[in-house]
Amino acid sequence: MTAITNELLRELPKTDLHLHLDGSLRPETLLELADAQGVKLPARSVKGLYKKVFKESYADLPEYLHGFAYTCAVMRDAASMERIAFELCEDNFAEGVRYLEMRFAPQLHTGGSLKTVQEVLQAVTRGIQKAEKKWNKKAAIKNGTEPPFRAAIIVCAMRFFAAPFSPTYASMFEAFGELPTEDLYGLASEALVRASIDARDHLEVPVVGVDLAGAERGFPAKTHQPAFQLAHDAFLGKTVHAGEDYGPESIFQALTDLHCDRIGHGTWLFNANHINDRSIKDRKGYVDRLVQYVADRRITLEVCLTSNLQTIPKLTSLKNHPFKRMLDARLSATLCTDNRLVSRTTVTREYRLAVDQFRLSPRQLSEQLVYGFKRSFFPGRYSEKRAFVRQILDYRDSIFAKHGVEL
């Protein structure tokens, strides 16, 4: 079998459907913005940041999330948000990514010069539009020999938050402080979805979906059901972090309570031992039926190999990751970075890991690439998406042929 080289992986058209904007800054940009804004960081060099904050491995999820306190601190004005979005598009384009969905919680970036969720979304949109305009004017893209670059936005509702997280949340606690905290979580999600729909419909912001992020344990998906019903009614895509920090029943809740189209991570999908609901007696049967449900409905799993190893100590090594079982079960799964800075990774690196650890054949690699494009929440008409995917498939085949790889 012809070797799958790093150059081939870099040139192949790829997607990143699970990519957190606030976890994917260039470290140099973080340092520059922090210096300009008077934000104190634990280190004043890229090497120092990698040593003290953005490590190769973490003790647990809380340590992993610690770095977001620094990235979010420099993301409170329009110019910074626009720049960070543009640079993220630029970094992805440079390694062959032709479609990405950057997700973030705009409510965390209000304050400073950005007062509303809509203003945050508009700033990020300007960064996306600047990147698309720059790269799509290439001659090879204009004449159709290469596919264009496209990007869109997924907004993140949060399972848990506190008043210090942002002025948005602080004002909610002040206005609705007498309500149970769980009710506040739900109200915040509804407010986010309404603002995002408004931005899409009236401000030409490419919001294509809604996500639910944060700790699963103790913060059930059902709390956010009204918000996701709003998103469903407005024809937004729905993806949920599930099965990352909790058992298979969390995935089922995301699919049923929140109309979920895709699952973020889904790491414990196959693990009956992680079922916490005592009413489920036949655990193996439950998992088998859940896997069949996911397969039948082509629910796509957004798999983040490096991130999972860093945040889930129980995996211990990549050989224990369920991605191979996903392949064997013929599930729709696509490889993603999660956080390019926090996990110190790229899309190409994630595919390198998968090819090496799980012995992906060229045909399997080809299929994984396609899942990302077909199951994207593409910001356009279905006819446009079909034409885009067709162009991607033709370009993919030409790259394989260029490298002498037969499918």
CATH number at residue 70: 3.20.20.140
**pLDDT one-digit tens code per residue, 223-247:** 999 999 999 999 999 999 999 888 8
The residue to which tokens 């950005």 are assigned: 114
3-state SS assignment for residue 14: strand
Instruction: Using the CB atoms, write b or e for 194-226: b if 16+ within 10 Å.
Output: ebbbbbbeeeebbbbbbbbbbbbeebbbebbbe
d(CA 101, CA 343): 18
Provide the pLDDT for residue 271. Answer: 93
pLDDT at residue number 300: 96
Catalytic residue among 244, 249, 302, 350: 244
The whole-number pLDDT of residue 1 equals: 55
Instruction: Please enumerate in sequence order all residues whose Cβ is within 8 A of that of 250, keeping only pairs 6 or more positions apart, or say none.
Output: 216, 221, 242, 243
Domain contains 104: yes
- What's the predicted TM-score (pTM) here? 0.96
What stretches in the chain show pLDDT beneath 50? none
Counted domains in the chain:
1
Q: Tell me if residue 244 is catalytic.
A: yes
Instruction: Dump strand ranges (E) for 32-137.
Output: 97-104
Domain range for 267 is: 6-402
In the prediction, which pLDDT does 344 show? 97
Let me know: does 208 contact 199? Beta carbons within 8 Å: no
